[in-house]
Structure 1
Amino acid sequence: MDAATIQAMIENGLPGAQADVNGDDGVHFEAQVIATQFAGKLPLARHRLVYATLGDLMGGAIHALALKTLTPEEAAARR
């Protein structure tokens, strides 16, 4: 598994989302995902939305995925 594939899966699964995925060993990754779909949701619900885009790869080909999930407004406030 590679970071570019995970990024594409997240962005395809959450239309309009922007994902930045990193990971050098092929099984441990970290991602920052910015999506309007996160508005009004608690962190666990946001993470579940991202995990749903990856399906059975979670816990298999993707051993670990550390997530930072933000709405576009939250991301803009951090800049």
Structure 2
Amino acid sequence: MAIDATAIEALIRSSFPNAKITVQGDDGQHFAAEVIDESFRGQNRVQQQRAVYASLKGLMDGANGALHALALTTKAPE
């Protein structure tokens, strides 16, 4: 089951409604995303990325996940 960048962005946006989100990728399995959100302020990178992965609601769950790879960049706004 393939997924597209728009669907990934919508899932992330459901958890981070005010974030600046950019998702790139077009093969249905490999994507890169940048999420910039104020809620990340004071969190380390691992905490930020765990929060984003949680928003994907299991899409990256091993062999059963629709999303094979997501290169993820997270940060608080400057």
What's the TM-score bracket when you normalise by the shorter of the two chains? Answer: 0.7 to 0.9
**Aligned-residue RMSD, C-alpha:** 0.9
Please list every run of 5 or more consecutive structure 1 residues that lacks an aligned counterpart in the other structure: 74-79
Task: Give the TM-score, by structure 2 length.
Answer: 0.87
* 2:66 counterpart of 1:64: no
Cα deviation, residue 27, structure 1: 0.5
- Distance in 2 (CA, whole Å) between partners of 1:11 and 1:72 is 16
The aligned residue for residue 77 of structure 1 is none
Give % identity.
Answer: 49
Q: How does 1:40-79 map to 2 (within 5 A)?
A: 40-59=42-61, 60-73=65-78
The runs of 4+ residues in structure 1 deviating greater than 4 Å are none
Give the count of matched residue pairs.
Answer: 73
Which structure is higher in helix share? 1
Please list every run of 5 or more consecutive structure 2 residues that lacks an aligned counterpart in the other structure: none
